[in-house]
């Protein structure tokens, strides 16, 4: 399989191969060791609350930094086999802490696995994941960790979690500090909240890009702003359908965003939870959302343009996309 795709919106626990979920669950004595149990709970996700509960349950499978190292190696192998050349993966040190695990050791374990990739494997980098509904103090602790022990694999920071819990402005100081530390920034917005959530994120946090952002499609002036400012939206259609952010695939606004000139990239978000891959998301664009080949190629280019990677790596990625078939 040719590897030319970049995905800048993936979450660590949501990237696990299904067999890794079962192996971790077996060691932890968790019900997800039974494939039927995991599949059943996954199929019952209908909204944001259900998704966040399932994600939290997968997080509880981890027992040690070694678990994170082995899981990161499995993720690297799976993303490579799925056709990715480059990936940025959200990793949450605050989750490690809340599991009673040492956050520095767990983060270093993930970084070591990613940095140990072979020349024929995807290049994976880390985004520090801040959990919105836990507030700014835990977010500051994540930055404290990074400041104490910066890792080359860590290239950026983003805000996930319950979008409706706290306004973006609550984290303005965190984002200012992150940029001072040399981190690039993203933010989840316009997924489960309306277009105002996107506008507030732009105004208060000044992110380099936005994850999801699909609510902007209901506001022409906001789409015009995104297009003019060149802000890339990392959109995940299967995720949006599964969590109820859109009622059905046929109602997804990605084509409307593209027609308005918004720079859209395609992402898989949490592949194991949504039974997808980045490549399948492009198939979904073609087969169900009727996005043209030219726009699908543009989405692949935008993913590389939005990536927090060195210019030479971006140039090589764009060249690979130019030679690929869509």
Per the DSSP assignment, residues forming a β-bridge with 185 are 157
Known active-site residue 191: yes
**Dihedral sign (CA 106, 108, 114, 117):** negative
Per the DSSP assignment, residues forming a β-bridge with 10 are 89, 269
Under 8 Å between Cβ of 8 and 265: yes
Helix (H, G, I), strand (E, B) or coil at 25: helix
Under 8 Å between Cβ of 265 and 306: yes
Chain-centroid distance of CA 29 in Å reads 28
Give the C-alpha distances (Å, rounded to integers) separating 72 from 7, 79, 175, 195, 291.
Answer: 16, 10, 27, 35, 33
Angle between helices 293-306 and 278-287 (to 10 degrees): 150
Encode 194-211: b = buried (16+ Cβ within 10 Å), e = exposed: ebebbbbbbebbebbbbb
Nearest to 207 by CA among 183, 225, 181, 242: 183
Please give the Cα distance from 180 to 85 (Å, whole number): 29
Under 8 Å between Cβ of 278 and 1: no
Give the C-alpha distances (Å, rounded to integers) separating 289 from 237, 248, 250, 252, 279.
Answer: 9, 11, 6, 7, 15
Please give the Cα distance from 204 to 201 (Å, whole number): 5
Per the DSSP assignment, residues forming a β-bridge with 88 are 125
The catalytic residue among 191, 228, 281, 313 is 191
DSSP 9-47: EEETGGG--HHHHHHHHHHHT-GGGSHHHHHHHHHT--S
Catalytic residue annotation: 191
């Amino acid at each position: 399989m040719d590897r030319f795709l970049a995905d800048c919106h993936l979450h660590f626990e949501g990237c696990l191969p299904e067999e890794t979920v079962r192996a971790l669950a077996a060691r932890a004595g968790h019900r997800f060791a039974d494939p039927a149990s995991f599949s059943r709970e996954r199929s019952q996700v209908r909204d944001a609350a259900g998704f966040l509960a399932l994600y939290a349950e997968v997080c509880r499978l981890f027992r040690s930094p070694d678990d994170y190292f082995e899981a990161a190696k499995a993720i690297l192998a799976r993303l490579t086999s799925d056709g990715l050349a480059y990936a940025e993966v959200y990793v949450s040190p605050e989750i490690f802490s809340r599991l009673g695990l040492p956050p520095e050791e767990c983060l270093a374990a993930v970084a070591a696995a990613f940095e140990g990739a072979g020349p024929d494997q995807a290049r994976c980098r880390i985004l520090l994941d801040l959990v919105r509904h836990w507030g700014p103090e835990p977010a500051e602790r994540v930055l404290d960790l990074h400041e104490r022990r910066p890792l080359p694999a860590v290239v950026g920071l983003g805000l996930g979690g319950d979008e409706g819990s706290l306004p973006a402005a609550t984290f303005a100081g965190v984002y200012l500090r992150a940029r001072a530390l040399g981190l690039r920034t993203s933010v989840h917005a316009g997924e489960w909240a309306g277009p105002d959530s996107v506008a507030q994120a732009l105004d208060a946090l000044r992110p380099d890009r936005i994850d999801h952002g699909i609510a902007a499609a209901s506001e022409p002036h906001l789409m015009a702003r995104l297009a003019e400012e060149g802000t890339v939206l990392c959109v995940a259609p299967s995720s949006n359908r599964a969590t109820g952010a859109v009622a059905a695939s046929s109602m997804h606004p990605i084509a409307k965003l593209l027609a308005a000139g918004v720079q859209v990239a395609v992402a898989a978000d949490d592949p194991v939870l949504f039974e997808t891959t980045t490549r399948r998301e492009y198939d979904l664009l073609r087969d169900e959302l009727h996005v043209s080949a030219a726009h699908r190629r543009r989405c692949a280019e935008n993913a590389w343009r939005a990536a927090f990677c060195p210019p030479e790596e971006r140039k090589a990625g764009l060249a690979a996309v130019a030679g690929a078939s869509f």
